[in-house]
Amino acid sequence: MLQSANEPIRLGEGRVGVGVAARLSRYLQVLTQAKKMGKDRISSQEIADYTNVNATQIRRDFSNFGKFGKRGVGYSIDGLLSEIRTILRTQGQHNIALVGAGHLGQAIAGSPIFAEHGIHIAGVYETDASKVGQLIGDVAISPYANLTDEVRDRQIVVGVLAVPAEAAQKVANDLIEAGVRIIFNYSEALLDVPPDVTVHTSNPAVELLHALYFHLG
């Protein structure tokens, strides 16, 4: 699932296992929302209810890194947020380039989640001239022709593809040529890329399919 990639892990160098990291980022999202709802502290059981991860597993995930909770009380939400962000190193600012300002692109760019987690959409690129100049979030849509130069100049290494399947391979090629090494592919297309480029393919519709399997007979 999500899925779940299998990258080489460097333990003992400050990096954590893939499974642990995936769960930690889910906890992060729950904690962020719980804080918005005005909560100050939370128990492992409450996190379990929202994430479908076993409560013991959650406590174990935290205790790998220290004793963050208080017995009989639970975890301080602010404290946990800070600890998890340190572990995941999501404190810094990351620049990404988004290609495609259709419905999916606008949904992604409009989400408040990026800003909340220190990810900055440095540019949105689109071939449809009638969309160029429009604002999504606080970024103006740029012409696709600018993509290569701007990505290169800003040394952006993460590209997000929210374009139709037919266009995906060409856009990927352009991004890679400009220096991108991590591509997040929201199209259905299968991308052929050099070995030093990582592709993560996902799609709301595909995910929904996965989830349905577990619940429909």
Of a second copy, DNA, none, which one sits near residue 113, judging by CB under 5 to 8 A according to partner kind? a second copy
SS3 143: strand
Of DNA, a second copy, none, which one sits near residue 211, judging by CB under 5 to 8 A according to partner kind? a second copy
Measured from the CB of residue 3, what is the shortest distance to DNA in angstroms? 10
Measured from the CB of residue 49, what is the shortest distance to DNA in angstroms? 12
CA distance 172 to 160: 9
SS3 168: helix
Of DNA, a second copy, none, which one sits near residue 44, judging by CB under 5 to 8 A according to partner kind? DNA
Structure tokens at 53: 């991860």
Residue 173 near DNA by CB under 7 A? no
Structure tokens at 125: 């690129």
Q: Which is nearer to a second copy, 11 or 208 (CB)?
A: 208
Measured from the CB of residue 41, what is the shortest distance to DNA in angstroms? 8
Of a second copy, DNA, none, which one sits near residue 180, judging by CB under 5 to 8 A according to partner kind? none
Please report which residue ranges of 18-164 form alpha helices under DSSP H.
Answer: 18-36, 44-51, 55-63, 77-88, 103-110, 113-116, 147-154
Q: Which is nearer to DNA, 8 or 112 (CB)?
A: 8
Q: Which is nearer to DNA, 48 or 191 (CB)?
A: 48
> How many residues in the shown chain lie near DNA by CB under 7 A?
29
CA 72 to chain centroid, in Å, comes to 34
Closest residue by Cα to residue 147 from 132, 165, 164, 130: 132
CA distance 40 to 215: 34
Contact 153, 170 (CB under 8 A): no
Structure tokens at 47: 């996190």
Residue 112 near a second copy by CB under 8 A? yes
Binding residue (CB under 8 A) for a second copy from 43, 68, 76, 94: 94
Task: Tell which positions 9-68 bind DNA, by CB under 7 A.
Answer: 11, 17-20, 23, 43-45, 53-57, 59-60, 62-63, 67-68
Residue 198 near a second copy by CB under 8 A? yes
Torsion region of 66: left, alpha or beta (phi above 0 gives left; psi -120 to 50 gives alpha): left
Residues that bind DNA (CB under 7 A): 4, 6, 11, 17-20, 23, 43-45, 53-57, 59-60, 62-63, 67-75
